[in-house]
Amino acid sequence: MSRVMVAMSGGVDSSVAAALMKEEGHEVVGVTLRLWGGESDSGCCAISDVDDARRVCDTLNIEHHVFNMSDEFDHHVVDPYVSSHATGLTPNPCIECNRHIKFDLLHHRVQALGFDRLATGHHARIATQPDGTYRLARAIDSSKDQTYVLYMLDQSKLSTLDLPIGDLTKDQVRDLATQLDLRTATKPDSQDVCFITREHGRDDFLRKRIPLTPGRVIDTEGIEVGSVDAVEMVTIGQRKGMATAGGTNPRYAINVDVPNATVTVGEPEDLLVESTSVKDCVWANQLTNGPVLVQISAHGKPMKATLKDNTIYWEEPQRRVAPGQAVVFYDNDEVLGGGMAC
């Protein structure tokens, strides 16, 4: 038996994760992080989510606590999200939250409070290698796989982490929640970025925090072909809003130059590159070079490439990866590490 702290968001996955850890005979305490103090789709401070987690813990007869990490969340997740956009990068706030909040601050606290292990309701698994080291492996339910946003987990984290629902499909998770009479059994999956509401969206969120710059749109010849409201909001590869006058084929943003407020559009083939540079790489175990599978978005298809000294050489030319986007390296279904496109 271990003392396990389960991070509970108030959703069905972490509810079932807590139930499974308890069923295994561990001493389980549920904890919900208060992260975002502003408006969200589940109400101010996400109070209804905290309530759901608390009520699930009552049903499971385990203790529930709330940790306030909202200042840290602002500092490590929200502020960098805003400043990344301001400089034309494409940030992934869920990854930064996992990196700095759940698997750093919370992980640290789990140890300081005398717990043996942390468990979360992520759809991913932990695989033990023949040499006894660990790797993060894709979830059984590939449509729900979250390994992409967890690529930063190293040996120190993986060795004290439990991912109890990684072996279950989402349907199985919901069935279990129903059997256990957990109130979150039919709760819809959370969508997108937790601090951005569906009603107001990303534009509105950023517009309140940074000045957004109207920009001109030029083609590859340098001829001005249109305009955008906010150059900071354009992502490389974006098609929406790029269908400019004169063109017959669909056009894509192939370059975003925030300082000069200019977006360059081109044909799909203008986006193709042979290689992509990455930086800030972290590894599950050790630095890796050689053949890898590379995933460049949360639910993107992994593509074959060779990694050498922070450069990805694609087997087939690929669309440019937007700077700031996370790039994750796999060996089959197992995460080797990841970094950020630059």
Partner 1 sequence: MTYLDHAASTPTRPEVVEAMMPWFTQHPGNPSGAHHQAREARRAVDEARDAVAALVGADSSEVVFTSGGTEADNLAIDGVLRAKGGTPICTATEHPAVLEPVRDSGGMIVPTDHLGQINLETFTETLDSVDNISLVSAMTANNETGIINPVTDIATLLQERSPETFLHTDAVQATAWLDLVKHCEGAHLVSITGHKFGGPKGAGALIVKKGVPFAATQRGGGQERERRSGTQNVPAIVGLGKAAQLIMNERETLASRVTALRDRLEEELIALVPDTFRTLPQDSNRTPQIAHLCFKGVESESLLFLLEQEGIAASAASSCASGAQQASHVLHAMGIDYETAAGSIRLSLGWTTTEEEINHALTVIPAAVSQLREYPK
Q: Which residues are identified as catalytic?
A: 97, 194
Hey, is 80 helix, strand or coil?
helix
What is the chain's Cα-based Rg? Answer: 21
Taking the complex as a whole, the smallest distance from the CB of residue 21 to partner 1 amounts, in Å, to 18
Best CA proximity match to 304, nearest among 313, 296, 293, 295: 293
Strands 63-68 and 252-257: unpaired
Taking CB under 8 A as the rule, does residue 65 contact partner 1? yes
Verify binding: residue 108, partner 1, rule CB under 8 A: yes
- CB count within 10 Å of CB 332 equals 8
- Segment interacting with partner 1 (CB under 8 A) among 16-24, 61-69, 133-141, 311-319: 61-69
Output 53 or 149, the one with its CB closest to partner 1.
53
What is the smallest separation between the CB atom of 112 and partner 1, expressed in angstroms? Answer: 4
Q: Which stretch binds partner 1 (CB under 8 A): 40-48, 77-85, 193-201, 204-212?
A: 40-48
Number of alpha carbons in the 13 Å side-chain half-sphere of residue 246: 9
Does 109 help bind partner 1 (rule: CB under 8 A)?
yes
Distance CA 212, CA 73 (A): 23
Side by side, the strands of the sheet bearing 117-119 are: 63-68, 27-34, 3-7, 117-119, 161-162
The verdict on 79 binding partner 1 (CB under 8 A) reads no
47 binds partner 1 (CB under 8 A): yes
Q: CA of 70: how far to CAs of 121, 169, 228, 268, 324, in Å?
A: 21, 32, 34, 41, 24
Say whether residue 71 binds partner 1 (CB under 8 A).
yes
CB of 71 to partner 1, least distance (A): 7
Residue of the chain from 2, 39, 59, 66 that contacts partner 1 (CB under 8 A): 66
Encoded tokens for 188 = 């819809």
Nearest distance in Å: CB 127, partner 1: 29
Interface stretch with partner 1, choices 44-52, 94-102, 136-144, 334-342 (CB under 8 A): 44-52
Decide if residue 315 touches partner 1 (CB under 8 A).
no
Which residues contact partner 1 (rule: CB under 8 A)? 32, 34, 45-47, 50, 54, 65-68, 70-71, 108-109, 111-114
